[in-house]
């Protein structure tokens, strides 16, 4: 079975039930959504506050997109790129591409013009779906995009070289295309984060995509009446693979355009959300909002919420303890994965294991794990090594990069680049990225351990620890600290708070600054290293921003 079979089943069995809801709170011009009556626009994307698609409309639109693509020559094995912000059209376009036998190639919406051109060329993309947010970036490298045969544009003011999406699919069939697709056929190319250079193209097949849906459904037990709130960007494997649980169950999904904590809570109440996947910064913002706006939040009926899960980065145990104080009846879970493993689920905590919060868990459904030394030998429990995973979602290869493939894939095991430790009960704890480990005076320092400790300090909103070159000890640990609005702390205050840590683990310097994170919530440490390797920063008392 493949993913498109699931969509067609839902269209047949739940055709009139709502599959997707798009909410654009910014269009409502109000922060107080609990007192705002939603404007409903049926049949797809609009510039209005709320729009929705039934499962039948979803499948019909995907079929019409597929027929259009086939009419312009798209066939099995071709590559079709998607450069869009989240919208109610994103998933129908993705499934329309899959229905042709072509490969879907989602692009990061933060890519520069140069990165867009590089990735389209690397993936051999022939078609590009893009929207008005990217017109200037595409225009800037248009001469370099000679491999793109057709540009399909979503929005107003269609460029002269592009075709309007809103007009192109009129008149095309809503029936299932007569295309033979097997589980072993290639289905998608995703891109690595590119933190150590230009992104690498990650090749996956249909069997892998379907396995991700099975894994998500098995881990979180979605039911038909569950409502999932999807906030992260759909270009990323994490957001899409978590949504696959709703695809399996036939449940409704609310695509929320924005991360304002007031919006998240208000929409959760009005839409009767039961499952939400958050990133660490959003969870922190929600808790701060609740504490600062207790009277308003008390008006919201949040009783439908039953599961909050987090992924994409290490989760401070103090954050989940605080969450459970506000939501004592919520189930909690965390999932670990990479784009190379089709996103979350390779390692899974499990809602029954909240007593192990801080761990990423054990091997997920149909997955295996190892923790190994530099020479590939399994290390004893309690010792740090590199985490390896093996399972049905492991990539086929880095497309057109056999050297990188050989380095990361060995005997079916994916070398993740993450340093981890397995405890006496077999639960895996992330220690840090291999490349982020700080070697100071011959000692290995794992920044995540220091970051987790500092997150317990009430004044601190966010923190990142990096290594900075030092002539005497090789590298010294430096903590970049972002304070909560209205809170103050000095370097001396923070060093005093750190006094219980072993001396070698304590940062040698505290810098007060904002902590940059990418769209999936991961700290952008390369940016911090570039900034603070190049300049000397004097620590100072500063109010949080």
Q: Is the pLDDT of residue 366 over 90?
A: yes
For the stretch 480-494, pLDDT in tens is: 999 988 899 999 999
Same domain? For 411 and 442 the reply is no
Distances 105 to 69, 83, 190, 542 between C-alpha atoms, Å: 15, 9, 6, 44
State the CATH number of the domain containing residue 204: 3.40.50.12780
For the stretch 120-133, pLDDT in tens is: 999 999 999 999 99
Task: Let me know if 411 is exposed, middle or buried by CB neighbors in 10 A (0-12, 13-18, 19+).
Answer: exposed
Q: Is the pLDDT of residue 153 over 60?
A: yes
Is 296 domain-assigned? no
For the stretch 189-198, pLDDT in tens is: 999 865 446 8
pLDDT of residue 27: 66
Same domain? For 429 and 347 the reply is yes
Buried b (16+ CB within 10 A) or exposed e, 365-388: bebebbbbeeeeeebeeeebbbbb
* Structure token pair of residue 234: 């759909």
Residue 82 φ/ψ, nearest 5 degrees: -125, 120
Q: Picking from 53-67, 183-197, 299-313, 356-370, which range would have the lowest pLDDT averaged per residue?
A: 183-197
Q: Is the pLDDT of residue 46 over 70?
A: no
State the CATH number of the domain containing residue 471: 3.30.300.30
- DSSP per-residue codes, 397-466: EETT-HHHHHHHEETTEEEEEEEEEE-TTS-EEEEEEGGG-EEETTEEE-HHHHHHHHTTSTTEEEEEEE
Segment 378-399 shows an average pLDDT of 95
Same domain? For 474 and 355 the reply is no
Is 29 domain-assigned? no
Structural domains in the chain (count): 3
Report whether 334 contacts 315 (CB < 8 A). yes
Is 287 domain-assigned? no
Segment 474-503 shows an average pLDDT of 88
pLDDT of residue 40: 42
pLDDT of residue 317: 84
For the stretch 97-113, pLDDT in tens is: 999 999 999 999 988 89
Where a domain ends, among 249, 284, 317?
249
Q: Is the pLDDT of residue 523 over 50?
A: yes
Where a domain ends, among 434, 450, 474?
434
Is 170 domain-assigned? yes
Is 34 domain-assigned? no
This prediction's pTM: 0.83
Segment 426-451 shows an average pLDDT of 78
pLDDT of residue 28: 57
Segment 374-395 shows an average pLDDT of 94
> How does the average pLDDT of the chain come out, rounded?
88
Same domain? For 112 and 151 the reply is yes
Q: Is the pLDDT of residue 432 over 80?
A: no
Check residues 438 and 87 and name the one with the higher pLDDT.
87
Same domain? For 403 and 388 the reply is yes
Distances 429 to 88, 287, 314, 387, 422 between C-alpha atoms, Å: 36, 25, 9, 10, 6
pLDDT of residue 199: 87
Segment 185-192 shows an average pLDDT of 95
Q: Is the pLDDT of residue 313 over 80?
A: no
Work out the number of other CB atoms within 10 angstroms of the CB of residue 140.
14
Same domain? For 429 and 442 the reply is no
Same domain? For 464 and 348 the reply is no
Is 266 domain-assigned? no
Q: Which domain holds residue 204?
A: 3-15+41-224+232-249
Same domain? For 97 and 211 the reply is yes
State the CATH number of the domain containing residue 373: 2.30.38.10
Q: What percent of the chain has pLDDT over 70?
A: 90
- DSSP per-residue codes, 197-266: SSPPEEEEEHHHHHHHHHHHHHHH---TT-EEEE-S-TTSHHHHHHHHHHHHHT-EEEEE----HHHHHH
Is 66 domain-assigned? yes
For the stretch 242-295, pLDDT in tens is: 999 999 999 999 999 988 899 999 999 999 999 999 988 889 889 999 999 999
Same domain? For 422 and 462 the reply is no
Same domain? For 398 and 414 the reply is yes
Same domain? For 412 and 503 the reply is no
For the stretch 209-252, pLDDT in tens is: 999 999 999 999 999 999 999 999 999 888 899 999 999 999 99
C-alpha triplet 315, 321, 325: angle, nearest 5°: 140
Where a domain ends, among 413, 434, 455?
434
For the stretch 6-15, pLDDT in tens is: 999 999 999 9
Same domain? For 67 and 178 the reply is yes
Is 21 domain-assigned? no
């Amino acid at each position: 079975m493949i993913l498109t079979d699931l969509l067609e089943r839902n269209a047949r069995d739940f055709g009139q039930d709502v599959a997707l809801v798009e909410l654009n709170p910014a269009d409502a011009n109000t922060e107080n959504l609990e007192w705002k009556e939603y404007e409903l626009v049926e049949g797809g994307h609009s510039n209005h506050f709320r729009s929705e698609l039934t499962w039948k409309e979803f499948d019909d639109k995907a079929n019409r997109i597929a027929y259009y693509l086939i009419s312009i020559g798209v066939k099995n094995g071709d590559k079709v790129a998607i450069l869009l912000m989240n919208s109610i059209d994103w998933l129908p376009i993705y499934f329309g591409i899959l229905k042709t036998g072509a490969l879907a190639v989602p692009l990061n919406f933060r890519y520069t013009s140069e990165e867009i051109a590089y990735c389209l060329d690397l993936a051999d993309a022939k078609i590009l779906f893009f929207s008005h947010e990217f017109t200037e970036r595409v225009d800037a490298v248009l001469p370099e995009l000679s491999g793109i045969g057709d540009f399909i544009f979503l929005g107003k003011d269609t460029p002269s070289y592009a075709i309007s999406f809103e007009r192109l699919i009129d008149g095309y069939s809503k029936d299932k295309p007569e295309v033979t697709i097997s589980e072993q056929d290639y289905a998608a190319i995703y891109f690595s984060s590119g933190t150590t250079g230009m992104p690498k193209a990650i090749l996956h097949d249909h069997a892998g995509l379907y396995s991700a849906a099975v894994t998500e459904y098995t881990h979180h037990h979605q039911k038909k009446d569950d409502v999932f709130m999807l906030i992260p960007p759909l270009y990323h494997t994490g957001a899409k693979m978590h949504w696959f649980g709703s695809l399996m169950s036939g449940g409704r999904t609310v695509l929320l355009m924005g991360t304002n904590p007031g919006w998240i809570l208000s929409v959760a109440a009005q839409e009767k959300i039961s499952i939400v996947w958050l990133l660490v910064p959003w969870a922190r913002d929600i808790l701060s909002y609740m504490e600062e706006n207790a009277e308003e939040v008390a008006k919201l009926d949040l009783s439908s919420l039953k599961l909050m899960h987090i992924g994409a980065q290490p989760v401070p145990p103090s954050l989940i303890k605080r969450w459970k104080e506000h939501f004592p009846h919520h189930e909690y879970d965390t999932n670990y994965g990479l784009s190379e493993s089709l996103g979350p689920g390779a390692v899974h905590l499990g809602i029954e294991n909240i007593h192990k919060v801080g761990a990423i868990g054990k091997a997920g459904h149909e997955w295996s794990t190892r923790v190994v030394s530099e020479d590939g030998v399994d290390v004893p429990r309690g010792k740090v090594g590199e985490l390896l995973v093996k399972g049905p979602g492991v990539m086929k290869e880095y497309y057109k990069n056999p050297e990188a493939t050989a380095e990361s894939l060995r005997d079916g095991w994916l070398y993740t680049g993450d340093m981890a430790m397995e405890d006496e009960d077999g639960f895996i704890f992330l220690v840090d990225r291999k490349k982020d480990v700080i070697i100071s005076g011959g000692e290995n320092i794992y920044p995540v351990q220091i970051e987790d400790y500092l997150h317990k300090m009430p004044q601190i909103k966010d923190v990142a620890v990096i290594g900075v070159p030092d002539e005497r000890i090789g590298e010294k640990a430096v903590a970049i600290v972002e304070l909560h609005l209205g809170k103050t702390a000095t370097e001396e205050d923070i060093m005093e708070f750190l006094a219980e840590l072993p001396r070698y683990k304590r940062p040698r310097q505290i810098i007060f600054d904002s902590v940059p994170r990418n769209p999936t919530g991961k700290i952008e440490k390369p940016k911090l290293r570039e900034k603070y390797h190049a300049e000397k920063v004097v620590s100072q008392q500063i109010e949080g921003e």
